[in-house]
Chains A and B, each alone.
Chain A
Amino acid sequence: MKHEHRRDLFPGALEMMILQTLRRRPLHGYAIVQHLTHTSDDLLQIEEGSLYPALQRMLKAGWVQAEWSVSPNHRRIRTYTLMPAGRKQLEHQVSSFERMVDGIMRVMRPARS
C-alpha cells in the first residue's frame, strides 16, 4: 500500500522534479506538491511526505536554501530557493535523464513497430 505510488518513480526523479519546479521561483513544500500534481495532470501521484526527506537531502547538499516567512494567508511557511549548485545539478540530472529516456525509447520502439 505504502509503496504503491512510488512504483512509477526511479531514484532521483523526485529530486529532479523538485529542482525543476524551483527553477521558476522559490516555493514552500505544499506549493511544490501542488505544482507537481497540477503540471503532471495528476498522472504522477507521489506520497506528499516523501518530499521532505528529499528536501533535507538537497539542503544538506547545498542545492537549495530554506527560509522561514509568513505567507499572504498568515501561515508560517518555509520557502526553498534554488542555489547555483542546484541549478548545475539539475542540468546534469536532466541530461542523464534524457540519455536514459533515449535509451529506453530505443529499446521499446522496435517492439511496438
Chain B
Amino acid sequence: MKWIHALRHWRRVDAELKEEMAQHLEEKVEALIEAGMTAPEARTRAHREFGNATHFVEESRDQWGFAWLDDISQDLRYGFRTLRRSPVLTGVAALSLALGIGANTAIFSLIDAILLRTLPVRQPESLVIVRALTRQGTRDHFAHADYEWLRDHNEVFSGLVASSLWKFNLDVGDHKEKVTGELVSGNYFSVLGVQPFLGRMIAPDDDTAPGNHPIAVVSYAYWQRALGSNPQALSQYMRFGNTTLEIVGVVSREFSGESAGELPDFWVPLSMEPQLSGGNSYLHMRNVSWLDAIGRLKPGVTIRQARSSMDVLLESMRLALHYNPQSDYLASIGIEPGGGGFSSLRDRYAQPLVIVMAMVALVMVIACANVANLLLARATARRREFAIRLAIGASRSRLIRQLLTEACLLAAIACAVGLAVTQLMAHGLLALSHVDSLDVHLNVKVLAFAAAVSCGAAVTFGLAPSLQSRRMDSWSTLKLDVRSVGRGTGRFNLSRLLVTAQTTISLVLLIAAGLLLRTFLNLKELNPGFDEQHVVQANIDPSLSSVSAVTLGQQLVERLAAIDGVQSVSFSGFGFGAGSNRICCVDVEGYTPHPNEDKNVRVQWVSPRYFETLGITLVAGRDFTEADQRKAPEVVIINETMARYYFQDASPIGKHFAWWPTDPKNIEIVSVVKDAKYDNLRQQPLRMAYQSIFQHGSSPNFLQVRVSPQARRSLSAVMQDCRAVIHAVDPHVPIRTLNPLSTAVDRTLQPERLVAQLSVGFGIVALLLTSIGLYGILAYMVARRTSEFGIRMALGAGRSTILRMVMRDGLALVLIGLGVGLFAAYACSSLMASLLYGVQARDVTTFSMAAFALLAVGLLASYGPARRATNVEPIVALRYE
C-alpha cells in the first residue's frame, strides 16, 4: 500500500507546487504593475524572470523520487490512447479474456465453496475424518462401543469426537415441528474448539451416565429464529414427547455443525440418546453402527502415521471387544483430511469440479494465445513507432514496459468485466447442478484468484510482443520499412507456435468433452429396471401424522388411487437415489459362505402393488398382500441377482434364510423380481431383498403413483391432485418432494450431466478461439505476402496454386497441432478413466471424431484467407509497393 500513499503524496505535491508558483507569478505581476508597468508587459517580464515553470515543477517532483510514478502514469495514459485507437481489437481481446477470467473465477468460486472452505473451528487443518470401512471399502459408521474404545486407546489423536444427525419432532404448543438435532460426544465442542455465544457448551461431564444430563445447546440461527434472539433463552426448555431438554447455551454465530449443507438447530449429549430415540436405543447396541467420528491429530502426527497406527489399533480392538476378524463390519479404519468437515457435495462434485477447472484453465490458455497473437500482430504494425522511439532515445526496457502496461490495462478491463459475469455464471452453474444452499459470494480468496489469473494472463500475452521487440533494431527497421518481404521473422515463428499450441489444447479438450458426453449418454440410456416415465414419487414425513404409519399408508393409497388417471399406488420405506438404505447380513439355507465373503444384501420395505406400480416384473411367485403383516409368517421377495447368487439355477421360491447366523432360518422367499437400480444408474445390480412394509412396520416415507399411459393426463396435473390429496388426508404431514420418478433418476446423473455440458461448452469455445487464431494468422500472412503473390501470379502461377499454398500453410499448423494433441490425449487418458462409463479412455471413435472436427474447422478457417490471396490482382499488388 506504500505506492498508494506515494500516489496521493505525488498528487498533493503536484497541486501545491502549481498553486504556489501561480501565486508567486501573480504577486510579481502585481508588484510590477504597481511599479508602473502595463499588465501585458508585467506578465511577460514576470514569466521571463521566473523561468520555465513546467520544468521546475518536474524538477521539484523529481526531488521526491516520483520519476517512476510519472513514467507509469504516462505509460497508462499512452496505453489507454493506444487501446482506444483500435477499439475492435481491444474489444475482441478484452471480451475473450473477460469470458476466460469469468469462467475460471466462477468455477473457482464453486471449488472454493465446496472443496476449500474449512470449518470455523480452531486449527481446522489438524482435523481428520475417521471412518469405519467395510471389506469392499464402502463407508460405514461406528457403534458407540467402538467409538469409546478408539477414543480411549489411540495414541495419535488429542481428541476424538462422535456425532449423529437426527430429525426430531419438537412440541411447540399443541403441534409438532421438525427440527434437526445432533447427538454429540461430550468432548465435541472442546475438541473442535467452538466457543459459546451465550451460556456454556456441552462438556465431557454431560456425557456420562445415560439420561443424566437433559441439556441442549442451540445454534445461533435457531436462537434468532425460534427464540427471538432473547438473551433469557438460557434455562428455557425444549420438549420432545416425554423428554425435556434445558437450553444451556448458544454456539458462536459462525459454527453450524461439521456437515456441509446441514444446519443443526441444537446439539445434545450422546448420553441422552435412549430418552430421545423413543425406546429403541442404539447406545448400547454393539451391532448398530450410527456414529460419525472426527479426530484432532496430536501436534506433529501426520495423516500417514495416523493411518498406519489404525491397523494396529484395530487388531487390539477386535481382541478387546471380541470381534470376529472375518466380519465385514469394520474391516479397516480410514483417515481423511477433515478440515472441511463432512460434505456429500464434496464427495459428489470434487472430481467433476477438478476436471472442469482443468478444462477451463486450458480454455484460458487458448484465449491468452489469441490475445498474444493479436498483440503480436499489432506490435508488428507498430514496428516503425517503436523504431522511432528507440532512435530518439527511449530505452528498450521502457518500450517493453510500455507493452506490458498495455497488456495489464487490457487484463484489468477484462478482469473487471469477468468479475461482473462471474456471479451470473456461478449461480447459473448452481442452477444447472441443482445445488442450493451454497454460498458462492465473492470473497477475498476468489478475488485474489481472479486477480492472479488476470496478472498471469497479462504477463503471458504481454510478454510475447516484448520478446519480439528485443530483437528490434531501430536502424534496419526504419530502413526496411514495412514493405519487407519475408516469412521467417520472429513474429511468425512465435505466432505459429501459439496457433499450434492452441490446436493441441483444443484437441485434448474436444476428446475429453467427447468422452464425457458419451459417458453421460451411456448412463442416460441405462435401464433403471423400472418405468420412470409414468410414475410420480412423493417423499413425505409420516412421523408428524396423528395416525399410525400403517394406517396413514393405507388411507393415502386408497385416496390416491381414486385420482383420475391413476393406475396403481404403492408406498415404500426408501426411494430411488434418496441416499438412505438398509443393509442386512443374511444366512441362507443350503449355502456355505466363503470366509471373506460379503454377506450383506440391501433391504427395502414395500407395500403390495409396489412392483406393479414401478413396472418391475415379477418373474415368479406372488406379490405381497395386506395379509403379510406382523403376526403372519415372515416372507420376502428377492431380486434375480440375489436368486442367482445363492441358488444359481434352482428355484429360490419356498427356500428359507435368516437375518442373523444364530437365528433360525425361518424367513421364506415367496417370489423373485427383475433387478432394479437403487442408488444410481451406474451401480452394478445389487443383491436385494424386499420385505412387506406391513410386516416390518416401517413408515411409508415414499409414495409411488403410476399414471396410466392411456389416461391422457399429464404427470404435473396428477402431481397437483396428489399434493391436494396428501394434504387432505393429514395436513400435518409435510411433503418433502413430489416429482416424476424420472426427475429423481435424472438427479443422480447431475454431476455427470454438469461435467458433460460444461466440457462440451468449453470444447466448442476452444474450437472457436482456435479457428479465430488460425484465421487471424493466415489473414495476416496473406496481407503481408500480397506483393509476393502478385509477383508469383505475374510469373504465371495459377489461382489454384496460390490457394493450395495458403491452405497448405494453415493445414500444416493444424496437422502438427493434431499430432501433438493426439499424443497428449493418449498420454493423459488414464486420468479420465475413472470418470467414464461404457467408453474406453482411448476410444478410437472419439479420438478420430475430435480430430476430424478440428481438421474441418481448420480447413474452414484457412479457406477465407486463401480465397483472399487468390483474388490478388498482380498489377495492383505490384503498384502497392
Contact = CB atoms under 8 A, between A and B. Distances in A.
Interface of A: 2, 29-30, 33, 47-50, 52-53, 55-57, 60, 75-78
Contacts of A49: 21, 50-53, 55-56
B558 interface: no
Given A49-B50, A50-B51, A52-B21, A78 B27 contact: no
Given A48-B51, A52-B57, A60-B64, 14 more contacts: A2-B52, A29-B21, A29-B23, A30-B23, A30-B28, A48-B28, A48-B49, A49-B21, A49-B51, A49-B52, A52-B60, A53-B63, A75-B23, A78-B16
B35 to A, nearest CB: 13
Which 9 A-B pairs give the minimum distances between C-beta atoms? A47-B51, A49-B56, A49-B51, A53-B59, A56-B60, A56-B63, A53-B60, A48-B50, A30-B27
B52 A56 contact: no
Interface in B224-241: none
A47 B23 contact: no
Interface in B12-59: 13, 16-17, 19-21, 23-24, 26-28, 49-53, 55-57, 59
Nearest to B58: A53
A29 B49 contact: no
A76 B23 contact: yes
Interface residues of B, number: 25
Contacts of A29: 20-21, 23-24
A46 B458 CA distance: 49
Contacts of A52: 17, 20-21, 56-57, 59-60
A1 B62 CA distance: 23
Contacts of B56: 49-50, 52-53
Given A30-B27, A57-B63, A75-B23, A47 B50 contact: yes
Interface of B: 13, 16-17, 19-21, 23-24, 26-28, 49-53, 55-57, 59-64
Contact of B64 (A33, A56, A75, A78): A56
A44 B797 CA distance: 81
Contacts of B28: 30, 48
A48 B23 CA distance: 13
A27 B29 CA distance: 19
Nearest to B64: A60
Nearest to A76: B23
Given A50-B56, A53-B60, A78 B20 contact: yes
A47 B27 CA distance: 16
A26 B312 CA distance: 86
9 contacts: A29-B21, A30-B23, A48-B49, A48-B50, A48-B51, A49-B50, A50-B51, A53-B59, A56-B60
A30 to B, nearest CB: 5
Contacts of A2: 51-52
A25 to B, nearest CB: 18
A26 B17 CA distance: 18
A66 B791 CA distance: 73
Contacts of A75: 23, 26-27
Contacts of A50: 51, 56
Contacts of A56: 13, 17, 60-61, 63-64
A55 B49 CA distance: 18
Contacts of A30: 23-24, 27-28
Nearest to B55: A49
A77 B57 CA distance: 17
Nearest to A68: B16
